[in-house]
């Protein structure tokens, strides 16, 4: 039974890191007038309300996107700022876009979007927001295995597990290796938490060893004793310019 709900964490520092990199990759990839396939193994509900008691209680958005906006961490022309502004123009000032809605901001009518979400309520909310995308109420790794290599062949797969099932840490490297072999031109982005007990380390080392860009940022634990002390993203076949955005985020988050 899945219990993780991203509404408690939407807009936190990990989202900011992941979503800034994702938006930067997509903004670059859509510059070429060739269609793309965009896929997510763990999509979430796509649209979050930061005035919801769940978000306010944890204070994570306050320490993440709210602080980022107050302190100018995202320049006005940053791709994530553009996706956020478009979401707020449509859904109100407390709205925050999850990764599917960020992707939708950049994708064009000929691009394809396949989103997997296993939690029934999250999948229902996702389908309501992402009209026109293919929403798969199934295990995301099974979906990606079935779709890859996708048509169009250019594209990006975001793998963003909740790591509720501890076997995820063991399963992910073999999954990424298999997808990268079947789809050697695909950009594959894996998000993972940096944990004080280092449980993520073997997985991250193995995936990064596939010749990928690895970017990690550390930040203060969300609450005393909280195991998550940072955010990591590993990208196989990173688009041009991603290293610059990663360096920019390193500088900002090192100073908090």
Residues that bind ligand SAM (CB under 6 A): 2, 4, 6, 18, 40-44, 98-99, 116-119, 122, 139-140, 160, 162
Q: Decide whether 119 or 215 has the Cβ nearer to ligand SAM.
A: 119
Which residue minimizes CB distance to ligand SAM?
98
Q: What order do you get walking across the sheet with 112-116 strand by strand?
A: 134-136, 112-116, 37-40, 155-159, 187-195, 228-236, 213-218
Q: Decide whether 29 or 130 has the Cβ nearer to ligand SAM.
A: 130
CB 193, min distance to ligand SAM, A: 10
Nearest to 176 by CA among 151, 211, 152: 211
- In contact, 191 and 233? CB cutoff 8 Å: yes
**Measured between alpha carbons, how far is 45 from 61 in angstroms, rounded to an integer?**
16
Q: Decide whether 138 or 184 has the Cβ nearer to ligand SAM.
A: 138
Q: Which tokens is 191 given?
A: 């998000």
CA atoms within 13 A on the CB side of 27: 17
Q: Decide whether 32 or 60 has the Cβ nearer to ligand SAM.
A: 60
CB 117, min distance to ligand SAM, A: 5
CB 7, min distance to ligand SAM, A: 9
Q: Which tokens is 180 given?
A: 């990268």
Task: Report the catalytic residues.
Answer: 160
CB 33, min distance to ligand SAM, A: 27
């Amino acid at each position: 039974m899945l219990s993780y709900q991203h509404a408690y964490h939407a807009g936190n520092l990990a989202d900011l890191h992941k979503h800034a990199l994702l938006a930067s990759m997509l903004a670059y990839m859509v510059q070429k007038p060739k269609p793309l396939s965009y896929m997510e193994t763990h999509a979430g509900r796509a649209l979050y309300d930061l005035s919801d008691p769940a978000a306010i209680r944890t204070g994570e958005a306050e320490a993440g996107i709210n602080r980022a906006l107050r302190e100018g961490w995202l320049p006005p022309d940053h791709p994530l700022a553009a996706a956020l502004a478009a979401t707020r123009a449509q859904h109100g000032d407390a709205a925050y876009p999850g990764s599917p809605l960020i992707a939708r901001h950049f994708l064009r009518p000929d691009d394809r979007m396949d989103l997997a979400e296993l939690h029934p309520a999250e999948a229902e909310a996702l389908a309501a927001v992402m009209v026109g995308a293919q929403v798969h109420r199934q295990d995301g790794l099974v979906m990606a295995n079935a779709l890859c290599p996708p048509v169009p062949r250019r594209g990006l797969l975001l793998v963003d597990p909740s790591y509720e099932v501890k076997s995820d840490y063991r399963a992910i490297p073999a999954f990424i290796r298999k997808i990268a072999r079947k789809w050697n031109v695909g950009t594959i982005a894996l998000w993972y938490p940096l944990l004080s007990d280092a449980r993520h380390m073997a997985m991250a080392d193995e995936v990064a060893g596939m010749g990928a860009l690895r970017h990690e940022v550390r930040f203060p634990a969300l609450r005393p004793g909280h195991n998550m002390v940072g955010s990591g993203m590993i990208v196989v076949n990173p688009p041009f310019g991603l290293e610059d955005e990663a360096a920019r985020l390193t500088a900002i988050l090192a100073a908090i």
